[in-house]
Amino acid sequence: MSADSTYKKMAIPQYTLEEIAKHNTPDDLWIIISGSVYDVTAYIQKHPGGVEALHSVAGTDATKGFRKNKNHLHIATQRDLRNFMIGVVAKPEKGKWSFGLGWLFGIKPGVTKGSGTEAKK
């Protein structure tokens, strides 16, 4: 059983990168850490690293920065973070270019493979 089907079976909400990116304001701030999606809106003012630390990663994958910070390695931090988890990142739809590698094939960002809108060679 794939992780994707496990999440569906457990009714864990899945969010696309596009949906997560929309939540990038102080009043509505989501981040991704290790494939999980967190709504940290209520935590912004309490964050020990300051408000700007969360604002700078709003609506994006904050995994790299999270892991770099030694303060995030504490069990209490990880336990607290679980309180803000709202779902997981959904797998991209089949046939869609992701990770920005479409340029290798002459495809512009946002173009769907097989849609007839690919770049002509």
- Looking at the fold, whether 7 and 30 belong to one and the same domain comes out as yes
Looking at per-residue pLDDT, the higher value among 103 and 80 belongs to 80
Alpha carbon 31 to its chain centroid, in Å, reads: 6
> How far is it, in rounded angstroms, from Cα 32 to Cα 45?
19
Domain that holds residue 20: 3-90
- Looking at the fold, whether 27 and 39 belong to one and the same domain comes out as yes
Q: Which two tokens stand for residue 30?
A: 């989501």
Residues with Cβ < 8 Å from 61, sequence gap 6 or more?
Answer: 31, 32, 33
- Looking at the fold, whether 52 and 111 belong to one and the same domain comes out as no
- Looking at the fold, whether 61 and 102 belong to one and the same domain comes out as no
Give me the CATH number covering residue 79. 3.10.120.10
- Looking at the fold, whether 7 and 57 belong to one and the same domain comes out as yes
pLDDT cut 90: percent of the chain above it:
40
46 pLDDT more than 80 = yes
> How far is it, in rounded angstroms, from Cα 45 to Cα 5?
36
81 pLDDT more than 90 = no
